[in-house]
């Protein structure tokens, strides 16, 4: 199975060596950049993904032809392709800002590391206001303390994805550990658990893909270009989000583990901005099926 390995500090993160090694096993994966919501935590990942590489590989996955790699593709688009390569979707790999005015434009908003005490609720209200669907990738240690917020996510018509129990790197684990990480969150969330997992730090390897697939999950990566995990000033975050806005993109933001004031402030600017540009906000195709239907 072909793999790409990069080893350098390509993200420009001080004192941090980031390596990318992405299997081109495209089943269920929508690769995208590395993220580290825990700024003080050493990166343990031996397998992290970088934005450009991820997008390139993703396009190759979607097309099945490495010679047609194009940065016009988007993670959300390939995500849709991974669900069902023949499925009709407006988020094609070729779709972009230059699409005709009559074309529908979609963004896939996702929020990791929650739920948070009040911030998740604020984000839910904002999403309601703009008729926006999103996926909340919760992790167990947080969710078990915030069961009320879990129910709130569902009550607002949003989707819950699996972000593991401990928020450790699945690529460093045995199969049994990976299963435990996934099952414990699924048990907590119950019937509301969607059949998709976003690996913490976007750490993946062949085993992670295989175990996830075996247990009914699609692996969902995404575009971390907002850098909201670093809590930048609102203006900077807004600019980051505008820079990664493209049809079909799967945008990673964070509603936790603490309340995210900058993310909320930026959403208040971006949701109407996106809407004015003609975007709608839909649930990631890989997360539309309940896990209970896959197991
Ligand atoms: Zn995370």
- Is there a contact between 38 and 255 (Cβ–Cβ < 8 Å)? no
User: How far does residue 115's CA lie from ligand 1's centre (Å)?
Assistant: 11
Q: To the nearest 10°, report the CA torsion of 62, 238, 100, 72.
A: -30
The verdict on residue 134 lying in a domain is yes
18-23 and 3-8 strand pairing:
antiparallel
How large is the average pLDDT for residues 61-89?
Answer: 30
- Report CA(185)–ligand 1 centroid distance (Å): 14
Residue 263 near residue 254 (C-beta atoms within 8 A): yes
What local confidence, expressed as pLDDT, does residue 103 receive?
64
Q: Specify the CATH number for the domain of residue 204.
A: 3.20.20.370
CA distances from 58 to 29, 183, 194, 210, 236 (A): 8, 28, 22, 18, 27
Q: Could you tell me the pLDDT band of residue 176, with boundaries at 50, 70 and 90? A: very high
Compute the distance from residue 201 Cα to the ligand 1 centre, in Å.
Answer: 6
Interval between CA 254 and ligand 1 midpoint (Å): 8
Residue 46 lies in a domain: no
Centre of ligand 1 to C-alpha 88, Å, is 30
Q: How far is the CA of 203 from the centre of ligand 1 (A)?
A: 10
Which pLDDT score, from 0 to 100, does residue 212 have?
98
Q: Is 23 within the bounds of a domain?
A: no
Kindly give the distance from the C-alpha atom of residue 280 to the centroid of ligand 1, in angstroms, as a whole number. 25
Is 247 inside any structural domain? yes
Distance 83 CA to ligand 1 centre (A): 23
Q: Would you list the DSSP string of 162-187?
A: E--SS---GGGS-HHHHHHHHHHHHH
DSSP label of 104: -
Residue pair 169/34 in contact by the 8 Å Cβ criterion: no
How many angstroms is it from 113 CA to the middle of ligand 1? 5
What is the model's pLDDT at position 56? 33
Residue 123 has pLDDT above 60, yes or no: yes
Measure 183 CA to ligand 1 centroid, in angstroms: 17
CA 102 / ligand 1 centre spacing (Å): 36
**Residue 184: domain span:** 75-95+102-293
How many Å apart are CA 230 and CA 227, to the nearest integer?
6
Could you tell me where the DSSP H helices lie in the chain?
51-63, 75-83, 119-129, 140-143, 147-155, 175-189, 206-214, 234-243, 261-276
Q: pLDDT band for 294, please (50, 70, 90 cuts).
A: confident
Please indicate, yes or no, if residue 278 is contained in any of the structural domains: yes
238-254 average pLDDT score: 98
pLDDT at 249 over 90: yes
71, pLDDT greater than 70: no
Query: How far is ligand 1, taken at its centre, from the CA of residue 149, in Å?
Result: 17
The pLDDT score that the predictor gives to residue 5 is 28
pLDDT class of 295 with cuts at 50, 70, 90? low
Judged against a pLDDT cut of 50, whether residue 34 lies above it is answered with no
* Rounded distance from Cα 37 to ligand 1 centre (Å): 6
Q: Answer whether residue 181 is part of any domain.
A: yes
- Residue 170 counted as domain residue: yes
Distance between Cα 40 and ligand 1 center (Å): 13
What is the Å distance from ligand 1's center to 275 Cα? 27
Q: How many domains does the chain have?
A: 1
> Within a domain: residue 178?
yes
**Of 252, 239, 254, 245, which is closest to residue 277 (Cα–Cα)?**
245
């Amino acid at each position: 199975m072909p793999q790409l390995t990069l080893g350098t500090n390509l993200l420009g993160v001080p004192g941090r060596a980031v390596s990318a090694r992405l299997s081109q096993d495209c089943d269920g994966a929508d690769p995208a950049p590395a993220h580290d919501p825990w700024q003080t935590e050493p990166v343990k990942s031996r397998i992290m993904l970088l934005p450009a590489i991820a997008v390139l590989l993703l396009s190759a996955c979607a097309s099945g032809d490495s010679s047609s790699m194009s940065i016009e593709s988007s993670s959300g688009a390939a995500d849709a392709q991974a669900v069902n390569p023949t499925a009709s979707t407006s988020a094609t790999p070729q779709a972009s800002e230059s699409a005709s005015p009559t074309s529908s434009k979609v963004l896939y908003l996702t929020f990791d590391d929650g739920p948070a005490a009040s911030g998740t609720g604020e984000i839910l209200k904002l999403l309601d206001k703009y008729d926006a669907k999103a996926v909340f990738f919760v992790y167990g240690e947080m969710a078990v303390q915030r069961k009320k917020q879990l129910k709130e996510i569902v009550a607002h018509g949003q989707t819950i994805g699996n972000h593991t129990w401990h928020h450790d790197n699945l690529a460093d684990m045995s199969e049994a550990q990976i299963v435990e990480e996934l099952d414990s969150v699924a048990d907590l969330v119950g019937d509301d658990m969607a059949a998709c997992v976003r690996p913490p730090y976007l750490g993946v390897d062949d085993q992670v893909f295989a175990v996830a697939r075996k247990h009914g999950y699609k692996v969902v990566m995404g575009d971390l270009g907002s850098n909201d995990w670093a809590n930048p000033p609102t203006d900077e975050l807004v600019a980051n989000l505008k820079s990664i806005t493209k049809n079909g993109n799967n945008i990673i933001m964070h509603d936790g583990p603490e309340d995210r004031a900058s993310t909320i402030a930026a959403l208040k600017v971006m949701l109407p901005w996106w809407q004015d540009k003609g975007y709608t906000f839909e649930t990631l195709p890989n997360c539309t099926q309940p896990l209970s239907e896959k197991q």
